[in-house]
């Protein structure tokens, strides 16, 4: 049961990441074409398209001052909105803290100009770590 749930969450995160690569990709420099032998997630980007339905999955959102995390249904949160959702391997990791997250923070005006109403960061960390990372990262 737990393994199936974990697998479903990983599948959802993969789908969301791929959705972001397609939906928000126009706000950033084009990605280089992957080598035919490459096995990166970028090769799967054709699996999710703008307008594809995001599955109803409940995520935990950290609250200020270590408040109890709130459950958020991602499909309800983004319904009817143009959003940028990106996933990172882990909060406070060097690459994510120095490159991934800051690139979305600095791109907010450009994303808004393209009609993006909401930017969401998802990681495998718990809600408390994510809240602290968001607070300390701006």
**Catalytic annotation, residues:** 96
Task: Tell me the HSE value of 76 on the side-chain side, using a 13 A CA sphere.
Answer: 6
User: What single string gives the DSSP state of each residue in 32-89?
Assistant: PPPPTT---GGGGGGGS-TTPPPP--EEEE--GGGPPPEEEEHHHHHTTS-EEEEEES
Q: How far apart are CA 25 and CA 18, in angstroms?
A: 10
Q: How far apart are CA 19 and CA 53, in angstroms?
A: 10
């Amino acid at each position: 049961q737990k393994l199936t749930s974990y697998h479903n969450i990983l599948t959802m995160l993969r789908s969301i990441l791929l959705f972001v690569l397609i939906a928000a990709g126009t706000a950033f420099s084009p990605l280089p074409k992957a080598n035919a032998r490459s096995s990166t997630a970028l090769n799967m980007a054709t699996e999710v398209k703008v307008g594809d339905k995001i599955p109803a999955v409940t995520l935990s959102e950290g609250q200020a001052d270590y408040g109890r995390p709130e459950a958020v249904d991602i499909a309800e949160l983004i319904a009817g909105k143009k959003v940028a959702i990106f996933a990172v391997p882990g909060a406070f990791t060097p690459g994510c803290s120095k490159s991934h997250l800051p690139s979305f923070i600095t791109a907010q005006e450009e994303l808004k100009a393209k009609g993006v109403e909401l930017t969401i960061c998802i990681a495998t960390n718990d809600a408390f770590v994510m809240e602290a990372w968001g607070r300390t990262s701006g």
